[in-house]
A and B are shown apart, each in its own frame.
Chain A
Amino acid sequence: MEPIKLGLLHSRIRLEEKMLVQAIKQRDDVELVMLNTSHLVLDLASLPQVDVVLDREISQSRALHVLNALEQDGVKTVNSYAAARVGGDKVLTSKRLHNAGIPTPKVKIAFTRESALKAVEEMGYPVVLKPVDGSWGRLIAKIESRTAAEAILEHKSQLSSYYHEIFYLQEYVEKPDRDIRAFVIKDETICAAYRTSDHWLTNASLGSKTFNCPITPELNDLCVRATQAVGGEAIAVDLMETQDGFTVHEVNCAMEFKTSLQAVDIDIPKLLIDHCVKAAKQMRMGDQK
């Protein structure tokens, strides 16, 4: 069989991408094709010839365009355009989780400052305001009073992007000083890590510390269901622990794992590449039938 051509969609080479490249180089059945969106020009009539693409692009807009185009030409993508579209949008994600019956914080969406303020007052304080398409804990506000709500909503509405006037309001969940990041590939939660911080936000990008979190059947089941709910196959699921059990507050398609690797004894990059290659081979077999 010809080597699988694996495209690594990216614009930055971080530690994670280096580890993925190393994992690819360990295999003799894979040819690495670097797809750097900072230099890539997509000729829609002649797209890069690859069997499978692993999305490691940090720009969600760029990733969506490339994934969509490649899928239309029969390229296997991990994750798919549809999953990346849902995972990159907190409104779509929350609705999918809710409809799948997965415990997730209550969410209200408003489109004007006035209606957002009304929603905040109805939800009660504190409440969390997030950008619809943000990441890494940016521009997330814990609103604890009407005065703060008025100020933050006004500031948000003055920002240049229209997206800041879509107000995603999330119930504030009381939790320990940690949350959980779990990694799902296909239908298995391969590992998970607690992320601890003195700050109420526990994003790794904000400097939280990690330690291993055992995978219980309940945790595995919930994370796999969350992955399926967004149509993903390689997903990082973020959960909080409440008095009533786990609640899923986020899913991440282009999963970041470097800080979690300090806590878990699982070779995440290798398993990600293994999955991509297996999926590409299955697709080839299907084409030959």
Chain B
Amino acid sequence: MANCPECGTALEIGDDVMAHEIIECNACSVELEVVATNPAQVELAPEEEEDWGE
């Protein structure tokens, strides 16, 4: 079980979540990066950079 580093809410992270997947905290809507699975660890996702795009 991991907690949101922003608001502390316990996060429900499914088994199918991949490392480095971006998820959103249901409570505060902050974007989080799953930095490890089994056990799950999350960090605040990086801020959007100027050269990001498709």
Contacts and interface: CB of A to CB of B under 8 A. Distances in A.
Interface of A: 10-14, 18, 21, 36, 38, 58-61, 88, 133-136, 161, 163, 236, 252-256
A52 to B, nearest CB: 20
Nearest to A62: B51
A255 B51 CA distance: 15
A13 B20 contact: yes
Contact of B53 (A13, A18, A38, A58): A58
Contact of A13 (B22, B50, B51): B22
Contacts, number: 52
Contacts of B20: 10-13, 36, 38
A21 B53 contact: no
Contacts of B45: 12
Contacts of A60: 51-53
A184 B47 CA distance: 31
Please indicate which of the listed interface residues A12, A21, A136, A254 has the most CB atoms of chain B within 10 Å of its own CB: A12
Interface of B: 18-22, 33, 45-46, 49-54
A135 B18 CA distance: 26
Nearest to A38: B20
Contact of B54 (A10, A21, A236): A236
A59 B49 contact: yes
The B interface is mostly helix, strand or loop, or mixed, namely: loop
Please indicate which of the listed interface residues B20, B21, B22 has the most CB atoms of chain A within 10 Å of its own CB: B20
A268 B19 CA distance: 23
B53 A134 contact: yes
A252 B54 contact: yes
Contacts of A163: 50
Nearest to A13: B21
Contact of A135 (B22, B33, B46, B53): B53
What 6 A-B pairs come out closest when comparing CB atoms?
A135-B53, A13-B21, A252-B54, A58-B52, A60-B51, A256-B54
A88 B54 CA distance: 8
Contacts of A88: 51, 53
Contacts of B18: 13, 18, 21
A135 B54 contact: yes
Contacts of A36: 20
B38 to A, nearest CB: 16
Contact of B51 (A21, A59, A256): A59
Contacts of B49: 59
A14 B22 contact: yes
